[in-house]
Amino acid sequence: MAIRIEPSQPGARAPLSQDRVLHAAVELADREGLSALTMRRLAEDLGVEAMSLYYHVANKEALLDGVVEMIVAEIEGQVGGFDEDLVDEDWVATMRRRILDARTVMLRHPWAPAVFETRTSIGASVMRYFNSLLGIFRQGGFSYDLAHHGMHALGSRALGFTQELFNPDPNGEESDSDPDGNEAEMAAMAAQFPYLTEMLGEVAHDDPDSTLGWCDDQTEFEFGLDLILDGLDRLLTDD
């Protein structure tokens, strides 16, 4: 009588699958950043040779497409499904809540925006997400034409992020033109970039973080989002 083999023996690793590969990819990027997400490094995490991955994903582009799908699926979970959005309130409130929910997922994966922006085609869960936003527009009374403009106006904000231009890397060293520098540098700054310098002096007061660090990303995101949603609502009710 044969001894029943345990499904997961100690030392016997679970077989690879596309899902396991994608999960491991997200975890690796979460843990060590996007630059650590290489085929070789990912294989190592999975206890496998790099070339084994190619049995489950066509290539690295396909891997990244899959990772995007994972993130949007996480948004879908966060929202509790995209289907049942009967708007029994302001369309603005519904849209705002959905997008801010997406944002909380994005904030858990700070590397994700960079991946989204390199994608060139979209998968099923991204389509479901965009479809749900379109549904909110429609139930709010938008024509498809205006809803289409609205999607473009939102841009990446629809997915809960704005790719900040020139945001300082957290582990960045002091730059030479750092305004915390000596007075001569400050004076040179003020002469070349008067408005910028004065703004820095005025707004940076509130926050101990220097120069570029004073911005509250969440506040700025919501400001921009509300500006666009209000503008669209105005266009809607004008017509």
User: Which residue ranges make up the site for DNA (CB under 7 A)?
Assistant: 15-16, 37-41, 48-52, 54-56, 59-61
Of 24 and 72, which CB lies nearer to its own copies in the complex structure? 72
Residue 92 in contact with its own copies, rule: CB under 8 A: no
* Alpha carbon distance 176, 6 (integer Å): 61
Position 27, amino acid:
E
Shortest Å, Cβ 118 to DNA: 13
* Distance (Å, whole) CA 5 – CA 112: 40
* Smallest separation (angstroms) from its own copies to the CB of 78: 19
Binding mask 139-158 for its own copies (x = CB under 8 A): -----xx-xxx--xx-xx-x
18 is a contact residue toward its own copies (CB under 8 A): no
Other residues' Cβ atoms within 10 Å of the Cβ of residue 130: 16
Please identify, using beta-carbon distances, which residue of 15 and 170 lies nearer to DNA.
15
Beta carbon of residue 87, minimum distance to its own copies (angstroms, whole number): 13
Task: Please say which residue, 41 or 96, places its beta carbon nearer to DNA.
Answer: 41
Euclidean distance between CA atoms 192 and 210, whole angstroms: 20
- Give the chain's largest Cα–Cα span: 89
What residue 61 binds from DNA, its own copies, none (CB within 5 to 8 A, per partner kind)? DNA
Question: Which residue, 17 or 167, is less far from its own copies as judged by CB?
Answer: 167
Residue 53: HSE in the Cβ half-sphere, 13 Å Cα cutoff: 25
Residues contacting its own copies: total by CB under 8 A: 57
Closer residue to its own copies, CB minimum distance, 48 or 160: 160
One DSSP character per residue, 45-103 reads HTTS-GGGGGGTSSSHHHHHHHHHHHHHHHHHHHHT-SS-----S-HHHHHHHHHHHHH
Tokens at residue 134, please?
Answer: 């379109």
Instruction: Please check whether residue 13 is in contact with residue 47, taking contact to mean a CB–CB distance below 8 angstroms.
Output: yes
Residues found near its own copies in the complex (CB under 8 A): 114, 116-117, 119-122, 124, 126-128, 130-131, 134-135, 138, 144-145, 147-149, 152-153, 155-156, 158-159, 162-169, 172, 175, 177, 192-196, 198-199, 202-203, 215, 220, 223-224, 227-228, 230-232, 235
